[in-house]
Amino acid sequence: FNYETEKKIDSGKLPEVGDLDYSLLSRQISPVELEALADNILINDFAAIKLFTDEIEAKEGLADFITLIRFYADNFNDQQLEEILEEIRKRQNG
């Protein structure tokens, strides 16, 4: 059997949720991408959430956001994912 090996993120090295640049995130992540992420959080599809981070990895300035999303998805922390999502939505909706 071949198992995908992922390097786990040390929680001591995580960026702070409050330090994310939500203005940048609201510009870099489209409303369609955000809704897809919200749908996956709602149904707890953590594999799809991590796939989402792979898809946006090339976008500039999102490294801390991606790190946090992957960490919370790895730890099945949908509540923290929702909080980040809400902050981005606030910025997009003005």
Average pLDDT, consecutive stretches of 10 residues, N- to C-terminus, the chain (94 residues): 53 84 94 95 96 94 95 96 95 85
| 63-74 and 46-56 helices, crossing angle to 10° | 160
Contacts of 14 (CB under 8 A, 6+ apart): 67, 68, 71
Quote the pTM value. Answer: 0.83
pLDDT score of 14:
87
CB 21 within 8 A of CB 61: yes
pLDDT score of 10:
60
Whole-angstrom distance, CA of residue 26 vs CA of residue 30 = 7
Whole-angstrom distance, CA of residue 1 vs CA of residue 79 = 33
pLDDT score of 26:
93
Short-list 44, 39, 33, CA closest to 72? 44
